[in-house]
Amino acid sequence: MSEQQRKIRFVRRLTEAPMRACIEALEQTGGDEIEAAKLLRTPEQNVRDRAWLRAREVVRAVEGGPPSASELALQEALEGPLRLLLQVEPARDGYPRAWTDALAQAALEGRSDAFLVFADWLQEQGDPRGELIVLQHHQERRGQSELSDEERRLLGASGALGDLTSGRWSTTIEWHLGFVQSLHSVLDRGQEGWGQRWLADLSRFLAHPSCLLLRSLSIGRIGKHLTYGQFAELAAAQHLPLLDTLSFGAPRQRYRIGELDPLGALPALRQLTLRGEDFPQHLPELQITDLTLCLNLAGLWHALQTSWPQVQSLRIEIPSRVRALGEEAIDRSLTCFQQLATALPALRRLELDGGSGPMGRTFEEAVARSIKQAGSTPHLELVLVSSRERRMSKT
């Protein structure tokens, strides 16, 4: 084997690149195989192989012995991974998009290796979130879920604990390896005049890098001066590649939903809950599979006339003001379900919650009879819910 062939083979082994690309990289670097490998390696390969080298370090600490030739060669090829990563398209706040993609994939697969490599990178940049990721990794392995004083100190130093968590607003946050996994926030009674300030604080919080991998966003009570459409616009304005669960509304309280066109900018959205006074006149094409609705009769009728081609599970809650209409509410509600199979062709489970009391159970049973008589959904699992009993039947 000639020296040139040896170099090509070495570069291909480190980069998995085609032979022609390896030859061109060697020509560009004057035959330096390590520099050629740096040119060809993808950010994803860097993340993966740095994690592998970290694992090998742990093994050697137990078994002893020097690094292998493969480890040394790979370590040389990884000398400049940060410079290579920074050459790719940046994501928000200057973070390389390669990190965004690698971390999102790791989060979906439940892996921590990419997060730990990212923690190294952050610490090299002097970012306290690097130390936070390592700390939360250790605490999660020990089964500790409550934020420790050290975590709060690091979050404060990184700016992640902004005005949204100052105690002014009722907010619940779940963290995972330095990132916000779920967020629930409401406007308390007596804060009606502060709605715009709350919205601004929430906007700043979602723009923080810690929210990059947000999976679930829930907005409860909002007061009469805001609409849930404003929060949809706020969420869509951020790069949230993993946001798959969105809930608007609060039990026993009805506020305006407003327009939800911005939801089309959330590609991962699969679970949607809408509790409010109205239903938007137009919805973008969504990939929702799990839908919960609690609307007035007009809103419910309009929602069930909307096409939901991928919804498999639907929950409908009837608010008390609709139940107060008595038999009239039942008669008007039945018309909402006549086109159920047309609007929701993939529907496999329907959960009806008529609320407590005799009228709630009467409503549930009337809808169940109507659906059975229509016979258009033979494989539908129907769940009837009341305060005193739950029974399931196959229609």
Tell me the CATH number at 215: 3.50.80
CA proximity to 256, closest of 213, 195, 198, 209? 195
pLDDT of residue 268: 92
What average pLDDT does the segment 288-315 reach?
Answer: 89
pLDDT at 18 exceeding the cut of 70: yes
CA proximity to 258, closest of 291, 284, 232? 232
318, 385: one domain: yes
pLDDT at 209 exceeding the cut of 70: yes
| 365 vs 49, residue with greater confidence | 365
What average pLDDT does the segment 42-53 reach?
Answer: 62
Last residue of a domain, one of 218, 247, 262: 262
CA proximity to 196, closest of 218, 167, 169, 166? 169
Number of domains, the chain:
2
What average pLDDT does the segment 59-66 reach?
Answer: 64
Percent with pLDDT over 70 in the chain: 73
299, 380: one domain: yes
The one-character DSSP state at 255 is -
Whether 387 is covered by a domain: the verdict is yes
Whether 93 is covered by a domain: the verdict is no
Whether 139 is covered by a domain: the verdict is no
Across 54-58, 179-183, 205-209, the highest mean pLDDT is recorded for 179-183
Structure tokens at 333: 């509600």
pLDDT of residue 196: 86
What average pLDDT does the segment 385-391 reach?
Answer: 52
308, 244: one domain: no
Q: Which residues contact 172 (CB under 8 A, 6 or more apart)?
A: 183, 184, 185
Do 248 and 259 contact (CB within 8 A), yes or no?
A: no
What average pLDDT does the segment 159-179 reach?
Answer: 79
Q: One-letter amino acid identity for 24? A: E
What average pLDDT does the segment 73-100 reach?
Answer: 53
pLDDT of residue 292: 95
380, 331: one domain: yes
pLDDT at 261 exceeding the cut of 70: yes
Distance CA 273, CA 245 (A): 8
What are the phi and psi torsion angles at 286 (to 5°)?
Answer: -120, 155
pLDDT at 22 exceeding the cut of 70: yes
Distance CA 379, CA 367 (A): 16
Whether 393 is covered by a domain: the verdict is yes
299, 391: one domain: yes
230, 318: one domain: no
257, 293: one domain: no
CA proximity to 321, closest of 252, 259, 237? 252
302, 224: one domain: no
Whether 283 is covered by a domain: the verdict is no
Coil vs helix vs strand at 384: strand
pTM of the predicted protein model: 0.73
| 377 vs 40, residue with greater confidence | 40
pLDDT at 66 exceeding the cut of 60: yes
Mean pLDDT, all residues of the chain: 78
What domain range includes position 307? 289-395
252, 327: one domain: no
pLDDT of residue 230: 92
311, 378: one domain: yes
Whether 1 is covered by a domain: the verdict is no
339, 384: one domain: yes
What average pLDDT does the segment 205-232 reach?
Answer: 90
pLDDT at 102 exceeding the cut of 50: yes
Whether 70 is covered by a domain: the verdict is no
pLDDT of residue 297: 78
Q: Which residues contact 235 (CB under 8 A, 6 or more apart)?
A: 206, 217, 243, 246, 262, 266
Whether 132 is covered by a domain: the verdict is no
Do 318 and 360 contact (CB within 8 A), yes or no?
A: yes
219, 254: one domain: yes
pLDDT at 101 exceeding the cut of 70: yes
Structure tokens at 218: 């829930």
